Amino acid sequence: MTYKIKSKEISGKSQIITIDRCPQECPLCYTSLNFKLIAAAYHFNRSPRAQVVFRCMKSTCSELFIATYRKIDNELFVLSDVAPMSPKPQKHSALIRKISPAFEDIYRQAAAAEAANLHQLAGIGLYKSLDFLIRDFLLSENPEQQQIHTIPLTECIESYIDDPKIRSCARHAGWFSDKNAFHQMLWDGKDIDNVKLLIRLTINWIESSVLAKQFADTAEDFKVIQPPQPPPVKKVPGLTIQQPEEEEEEEDSREVEDLKEVDVSDIEGTDIVSLLSKFSISHSLDANDIRDLISFLDLRKYAKGEYIVKKGDQGRNLYIILSGKAEVIGEDGLHIAVLERGEIMGEMSLISGNPITATVRVIEPAELLCLNAKDFGHVLNRFPSVQMFFAKLLADRLMKTNKARSEEFASGMAGKLSEMQPSELFQVFNINQKTGILSLNLIRGRAEIAFRDGQMLRVRFGEKEGVDAFFELLREKEGRFKFLPDLSPEDMKLPKMGDFMWLLMEGMRKMDEEVRRD
């Protein structure tokens, strides 16, 4: 979508010019997509250009910046530069800052160079930060190998990284290991975005490696003195443990989903050994091992609305859900997920030693088996198969976390409605002629809008669809949003719902009428 704006020549003469687009983000706060045009000037010389002054409308920013447009034909001016720019904020974890303070410092300087359009200097700085990050991590893992300081980076990677996939990825850092590195990279069609991607992948690898090692160390640190006789079975209050029969038990291969058929609303009289054997944590344990495991567990009952854990608290227990349901609550009180029978929570805090990252609240009366932090270490040491189960669980959750980060990075846009109201957000997609799916996670439920070239094709919010759903969305003030620039073939064929600006104005009018009535 193009825009016609009024500009002035140096002589003072006014002229209407056409620009191709507005800036996609504020170059100073990097969060706002809502700008106000303040003034525009037109320069006529061998290279005609227009400079437009915008003000960022985010209340915490409100800064002015200049967008420069170059004339490419008789009418159209194309955005070529935005200034001034502040370094785009990049927060790395405390773990990365601890491993390589030099990486953090050099990366920040490279970001400042990029903001000043010194792209070649920024590229070299980013490589140097990556060099420090890899070497410092390898030194933290191999403190006696001081030659890591001096040998070529590619040799470090080949000598000290065992995982072939990670080695293949990290080896690309060797692109820059000679004096002609950056020049050669330009010839290969690569740029500093490739270096940034390598840095992100390297950070994910380091964090995953360290967390996995912490898990292994946690298991090894616990020392349990094995008694000469099997310990007496500690009965969980309200639970009856059935002694094994002489004949061989038939193997039950049902998955956790099948447990929904087991009636545990009345725990008393239930054979806990048989029940727990159906949970994935004990699939590789025999009946005697399960009895030993039960001796470490306590049963707790929670009413609807009670909190099991709260974000920021230090983890003290691992929980296994026997019955009922609980919901995971994120920032702003938003629903993230539902946990049901057979699912496990709390292990990440016990393994890493970090505070709990999300609040969990009961939504159906629930009964949970609890394992405290001290006994958790004993169980890991005593049952290698349980240790392997948690290693796999940890790896799966790390993979899901990295996948979620990658999807959010690829989405191109994500944020909070507290920073940009729905009316402003929807206008951004309309003005910039975006095509894709806007997903919103709101307190009142989830919503979805399909855009094609900035026009709405369908809207869904809870039970409502179409125009009614759109009007409801305009009232929302809290929640998160994410845009994925992809549309299914079926959505691409849908007709537009109507004129976007008319729908927006009609929705705002309805809201104003409601305010006046109140």
Nearest of 92, 192, 178, 163 to residue 133 by alpha carbon: 92
Report the greatest alpha carbon distance in the chain: 103
Q: Which residues pair with 360 in a beta bridge?
A: 309, 328
**Strand ranges (E), 356-444:** 359-372, 413-416, 436-442
Average pLDDT over residues 76-86: 82
Average pLDDT over residues 383-406: 69
Which amino acid is it at 166? I
Using the 3D structure, point to which of 320, 353, 378 is the last residue of a domain.
378
Question: Residue 226: its pLDDT value, please?
Answer: 43
Q: Are residues 198 and 104 in the same domain?
A: yes
Question: Residue 250: its pLDDT value, please?
Answer: 42
Question: Residue 455: its pLDDT value, please?
Answer: 92
119-176 per-position pLDDT tens digit: 777 888 888 888 888 889 888 888 888 888 888 877 777 788 776 656 665 555 555 4
Q: Establish how many alpha carbons lie within 13 A of residue 504's alpha carbon, considering only the half-sphere containing its beta carbon.
A: 17
Angstrom distance (rounded) from CA 495 to CA 492:
8
Angstrom distance (rounded) from CA 24 to CA 40:
18
Residue 422 domain-assigned (yes or no): yes
On the question of pLDDT at 304 being above 80, the answer is yes
Which amino acid is it at 157? I
Higher pLDDT among residues 44 and 272, named by residue: 44
Q: Which of 233-247, 288-302, 331-345 is predicted least confidently?
A: 233-247
Q: Which residues pair with 5 in a beta bridge?
A: 17
424-460 per-position pLDDT tens digit: 788 888 877 889 999 999 888 899 999 998 899 999 9
Average pLDDT over residues 402-420: 62
Residue 383 domain-assigned (yes or no): no
Residue 235 domain-assigned (yes or no): no
Q: What is the mean pLDDT of the chain?
A: 76
Q: Are residues 132 and 64 in the same domain?
A: no
Res. 227 pLDDT band, cuts 50 70 90: very low
- Domain total for the chain? 4
469-496 per-position pLDDT tens digit: 999 999 888 888 888 888 899 999 999 9
Res. 217 pLDDT band, cuts 50 70 90: low
Burial 151-176 (b: 16+ CB within 10 A, else e): eebbebbeebbeeeebeebbebbbbb
Q: Are residues 65 and 102 in the same domain?
A: no
CATH number at residue 344: 2.60.120.10
Q: Are residues 217 and 265 in the same domain?
A: no
CB of 490 within 8 A of CB of 484?
no
Residue 131 domain-assigned (yes or no): yes
CB of 437 within 8 A of CB of 487?
yes
Q: Are residues 149 and 204 in the same domain?
A: yes
On the question of pLDDT at 376 being above 90, the answer is no
Q: Are residues 38 and 106 in the same domain?
A: no
Angstrom distance (rounded) from CA 309 to CA 250:
37
Which amino acid is it at 169? C
* C-alpha dist (Å) from residue 140 to 133, 137, 146, 148, 149: 11, 5, 10, 11, 12
Q: Are residues 213 and 285 in the same domain?
A: no
CATH number at residue 133: 1.20.120
Which amino acid is it at 26? C
Residue 184 domain-assigned (yes or no): yes
Residue 202 domain-assigned (yes or no): yes
Average pLDDT over residues 321-334: 81
Q: Are residues 217 and 102 in the same domain?
A: yes
CB of 282 within 8 A of CB of 337?
no
Which amino acid is it at 32? S
Res. 3 pLDDT band, cuts 50 70 90: confident
Using the 3D structure, point to which of 221, 242, 273 is the last residue of a domain.
221
Q: Are residues 444 and 502 in the same domain?
A: yes
Res. 266 pLDDT band, cuts 50 70 90: very low
N- to C-terminal Cα distance for the chain? 39
Average pLDDT over residues 106-117: 79
Q: Are residues 474 and 423 in the same domain?
A: yes
Q: What does pTM read for this prediction?
A: 0.36
CA angle 65, 25, 492 (to 5 degrees): 145
Average pLDDT over residues 175-182: 46
Q: Are residues 63 and 136 in the same domain?
A: no
State which residues form the domain around 484.
Answer: 416-517
Using the 3D structure, point to which of 83, 107, 125 is the last residue of a domain.
83
* C-alpha dist (Å) from residue 5 to 1, 8, 52: 13, 10, 9
Angstrom distance (rounded) from CA 417 to CA 481:
7
Residue 248 domain-assigned (yes or no): no
On the question of pLDDT at 231 being above 70, the answer is no
CB of 81 within 8 A of CB of 68?
yes
Interacting residues of 516 by C-beta distance below 8 A, sequence separation 6+: none
Residue 28 domain-assigned (yes or no): yes
Q: Are residues 100 and 77 in the same domain?
A: no
